[in-house]
Amino acid sequence: MSYPVTRLRRLRKSAVIRNMVRETEVNRDDLIMPYFVCPGENVCNPIKSMPGNSQLSIDQLVKEVQDLYATTGIDKILLFGIPESKDEHGHVACHLDAIVPKAIRALKKAIPQVLIVADVCNCEYTTHGHCGTIVDGDVDNDSTLHTLAAQSVTLAKAGADIIAPSDMMDGRVGAIRNALDESGFQNTPIMAYSAKYASAFYGPFRDAAESAPKFGDRSTYQMDPANGDEALREVEQDIIEGADMVMVKPALSYMDIISRVKSTFNMPVVAYNVSGEFSMVKAAAANGWVDEERMIKEILTSLKRAGSDVIITYHAKEFVLSELKKGNRV
């Protein structure tokens, strides 16, 4: 019986060899940990649909991020806000005393080493839960741009390191870039949610951010999950308008899009491993159906292998702690 000269199993025979030839590794520098900040003091409201995550008041958020940095070395976070009150347009988010700007200032004072990505959208701040001003039953694109630009400048003034618009309005990257530049923030990068799909995977997030729409859905401005070529057009437009990084959201069902974006544009690509993807793993693990640690590592590795340079994930802290506990490089 003859055998091939090349046997690929030779490079799998031991952990040392497998580690030596491993093509893709996830490390802490790749990861961004999201947080939800809310009004009050000493508030920690567990999010039932997202085990291990909570709505945190600013004082508790500072403590949590200090612990994140001290125990894992993760130095990048993404902030979402739950305001005390809402309005029809999201104007409440445009003031320097709004919840997220206040949180940014507190974090920068306590932990200046940590990079803060500030989400820019209106769904948490509008009474109707949509991502902009409603005209004739739908979000009006161009009037919403003014709110997004004003919110972005406020966040930059508060100390946000990166502005991340997630609204999916046409032209919002250009409007935000112009507003930032005119306000003296020419060096503040924009991480654009460029290919954000109208997905069923956002459910737990909407519980966490209290941002579910009061009527209809977001399919007139977020992308149709069936479309791939359109995603490249969205990404290209954001790049033309000045995006410094582009994002694909959700991640797991859209790894083909991540790969296409990376190979087409060869610029920093962010994958958002969203709440529904996180919660599915947690639910399966709670039932004893999966090996949670292995599954988390496999998911994050696959996202990086697909072409992601950065991964936003609620698994960030537990992943790094798990790897450190095992003595692995991370």
Catalytic residues: 196, 249
Single-letter residue type at 93? A
* Spatial contact of 249 and 193, defined as CB atoms under 8 Å apart: yes
232 to each of 55, 121, 248, 272, how far by Cα in Å? 34, 22, 10, 17
CB burial class (10 A; 0-12, 13-18, 19+) of residue 1? exposed
CA geometry: angle 150, 237, 193, nearest 5 deg: 60
Cis peptide bond prior to 250, omega within 30° of 0: yes
CA geometry: angle 145, 147, 149, nearest 5 deg: 70
Q: First vs last Cα of the chain: how many Å apart?
A: 44
